[in-house]
Amino acid sequence: MISKSLKETKEIARKFVKKVTPHTDGAFVIALSGDLGSGKTTFARALAETFDIHEREVTSPTFVIIKSYDLDSKEFFFKKFIHVDAYRLEKAEEIEKLGWKTLIRDFGNLILIEWPENIGEALPKNAVKISFMFIDENTREIVFN
């Protein structure tokens, strides 16, 4: 998809979240790939907003690697929204030290991870992959697979 503005990216995120069907055997993991400034955090923030989380607070958790938000509402299937920024990590063991295996086992967790390539084989096989590409100042290409 092509997004021509911040607003369009947020709209794409909102439409995407409506199609998410939880897994029965573990967390729903969304891997967000793309260069710095390509729109990963913007997309994560828009998803958070659909769960009434206002992450000015979902700033890119560059210093905090894992941010977890409780979803108290009965309106949502998921119990926790978890935003991970693996920018500073280099290998699977580093995220495993942070309790990753427990997080991905719980089907009540919706997990978004920026820089998923930095955690290697720790990324679950069934993660939904979304790639962001910078086209020009206000345009981004967003590819889902």
Ligand X SMILES: Nc1ncnc2c1ncn2[C@@H]1O[C@H](COP(=O)(O)OP(=O)(O)O)[C@@H](O)[C@H]1O
Q: Where along the sequence are the contacts to ligand X (CB under 6 A)? A: 3, 5-6, 8-9, 34, 36-42, 60, 114, 132, 138-140
Tokens of 130: 């979304």
Residue with tokens 């790639």: 131
Of Mg ion, ligand X, none, which one sits near residue 67, judging by CB under 5 to 8 A according to partner kind? Answer: none
Q: Give the Cα separation of 95 and 120 in Å (integer).
A: 10
45 near Mg ion (CB under 5 A): no
Please, what is the angle between helix 40-50 and helix 6-18, to 10°?
A: 50
Question: Could you tell me which residues come within 8 angstroms of residue 82 by beta carbon, excluding any fewer than 6 positions away?
Answer: 27, 66, 67, 68, 69, 103, 109, 110, 111, 112
Assess 83 for contact with Mg ion (CB under 5 A): no
The site partner of 37 among Mg ion, ligand X, none (C-beta below 5 to 8 Å per kind) is ligand X
* Closer residue to ligand X in complex, CB, 22/37: 37
Please, what is the minimum distance in Å from the beta carbon of residue 19 to ligand X? 19
What does each C-alpha distance from 94 to 29, 116, 118 come to in angstroms? Answer: 18, 12, 10
Residue 116 interacts with, from ligand X, Mg ion, none (CB under 5-8 Å by kind): none
Site for Mg ion in 114-143 (CB under 5 A): 114
Any idea of the CA torsion for 45, 123, 92, 44, to the nearest 10 degrees?
0
Among 10, 40, 45, 83, binds Mg ion (CB under 5 A): 40
- Region binding Mg ion by CB under 5 A among candidate stretches 8-16, 75-83, 112-120, 137-145: 112-120
Give the footprint of Mg ion on this chain (CB under 5 A): 40-41, 60, 114
